[in-house]
Amino acid sequence: MLVVMKANASEEQVRAVCQKIESYGLRAHAIPGAQRTAIGITGNRGEVETGTFESLEGVQEVIKVSKPYKLVSRDVKAEDTIIRFPGSDASIGDNEIAVIAGPCGVESHEQAFAVAERVAKAGARFFRGGAYKPRTSPYAFQGLGELGLQILAEVRERFGLLIVTEAVDHESLALVDDYADVIQIGARNMQNFSLLKAAGRARKPVLLKRGMSATLEEFLMAAEYIMSEGNYNVVLCERGVRTFADHTRNTLDLSVVPAVQRLSHLPILVDPSHGTGKRNKVTPLSRAAIAVGADGLIIEVHNDPDHALSDGNQSLYPDQFDNLMNEVRQIAQVLGRTIADPVADPAARRSAGAAAD
């Protein structure tokens, strides 16, 4: 159920409605929008009597939400969610397309710095790299753990890049929440409901990857798990689903982008690296992702892909990433969107951001 407040409702009126909702043992989620605040109600097992809230001051109407997901839905918030990062010009979901680039895994200080310098210069504002790697084989590289997170923190310090890295379980989630700017929940964990709830109690925004066999509804319900715990900064990410096709690692489902945008106010990114698994398909699918209206890209880039400890086959060489950025920048322009320009000295961007604080 959704309590829609009047456009001129005061903060006290919103608070009073929330208190009333919580006095019934339910949870109130006040989501401010451009026109009005809507208060989502969760925690109810059955029907809630609408009349209880309709008569409260400042209330415009009470709507029953028939969809299984509520907080992710455009019913709660008509306009797009934009996630901002204090002290940085970066955002996700705004007119500027967010580009997250970096290696699959953080392998060493040298590797992370070599890649970070190149992707920052090419215009990426976010750096990716797993410190904890969910691998199909227990014998494959599992990540550097906390040392990897420390290297990522140094990358942020040196290049002014915001850090996106994966949490694979509760233990790593607490550490990732401390070190990173965005917590990634991987495809294999999209329905790890206890991890989703814990991410919902974390302080940082969450990048939620679509499970490899998840329907759109399952994907949105996973996001709902995070939001239902009070973390409203959720970014969705399409990374390919499993089909019978064997010319690519996964089948990148770009049609999910407009499908998500119809139903949800959350930003949606595309990961053509995992979506195709093949280096030569990453740039073409990146172009397509921007053309279809994605809010951003997550791209694997490695300084020495042939010796990468994971996902070398799908990692771009830095020069290829430069080219990708030039191409998608032009496509973005056609759609009235922007992508950050290349920067000669990323360290200077860092100090400019810090000075603006």
Residues that bind ligand PEP (CB under 6 A): 104, 130, 134, 186-188, 209, 239, 274
77 binds, among Mn ion, ligand PEP, none (CB under 5 to 8 A by kind): none
Q: Record the tokens describing residue 62, joined without a space.
A: 């009470």
Alpha-carbon torsion, ordered 11, 17, 20, 26, to 10 deg: -110
Taking the complex as a whole, the smallest distance from the CB of residue 245 to ligand PEP amounts, in Å, to: 17
Residue nearest to ligand PEP (CB): 186
Beta strands 27-32 and 37-42 are antiparallel
Bridge partner list, 241: 251
Q: Does 311 bind Mn ion (CB under 5 A)?
A: yes
Spatial separation of the C-alpha atoms in residues 324 and 317, rounded to whole Å? 11
CB of 104 to Mn ion, least distance (A): 3
Q: Side chain identity at 211, as an amino acid letter? A: G
Residue 209 contact, options ligand PEP, Mn ion, none, Cβ 5-8 Å cut-off depending on partner type: ligand PEP
What sections of the chain are H helices per DSSP? 11-23, 51-54, 109-122, 146-159, 170-179, 193-200, 216-228, 256-263, 272-276, 279-292, 318-334, 346-355
Q: CB of 286: closest distance to Mn ion in angstroms? A: 16
Neighbouring CB atoms inside 10 A of 307's CB total: 10
Q: Which residue is nearest to Mn ion (CB)?
A: 104
Q: Answer yes or no: are the C-beta atoms of 296 and 266 closer than 8 Å.
A: no
* Shortest reach from residue 239's CB to ligand PEP, in Å: 4
Nearest to 39 by CA among 49, 48, 29, 47: 29
Min CB(50)–ligand PEP separation in Å: 41
Q: Which does 187 bind (CB under 5 to 8 A by kind): ligand PEP, Mn ion, none?
A: ligand PEP
Examine residue 2 and tell whether it contacts Mn ion (CB under 5 A).
no
Q: Least distance from C-beta 21 to ligand PEP, angstroms? A: 36
Pairwise CA distance, residues 122 & 105, whole Å: 20
Which of 77/274 has CB closer to ligand PEP? 274
What are φ and ψ of residue 37, in 5° steps?
-95, 140
DSSP calls for 157-180: HHH-PEEEEE--SHHHHHHHHHH-
Three-class secondary structure of residue 237 per DSSP: strand
CB 10 within 8 A of CB 30: no
Least Å distance, CB 108 to Mn ion, is 17
Among 97, 104, 299, 343, binds Mn ion (CB under 5 A): 104
Asked if 301 is part of the footprint of Mn ion (rule: CB under 5 A), the reply reads: no
Return the number of the residue (75 or 166) whose C-beta is nearest ligand PEP: 166
Is the Cβ of residue 48 or residue 206 nearer to ligand PEP in the bound state?
206
Q: How far is the CB of 273 from Mn ion (least distance, A)?
A: 7
Query: Near Mn ion by CB under 5 A, which window of 140-148, 168-176, 225-233, 307-315?
Result: 307-315
Q: Which is nearer to Mn ion, 311 or 322 (CB)?
A: 311
Cβ atoms 42, 72 nearer than 8 A:
no
Q: Which is nearer to ligand PEP, 119 or 343 (CB)?
A: 119
Q: Answer yes or no whether residue 187 interacts with Mn ion by CB under 5 A.
A: no
**How many residues contact Mn ion, by CB under 5 A?**
2
Residues that bind Mn ion (CB under 5 A): 104, 311
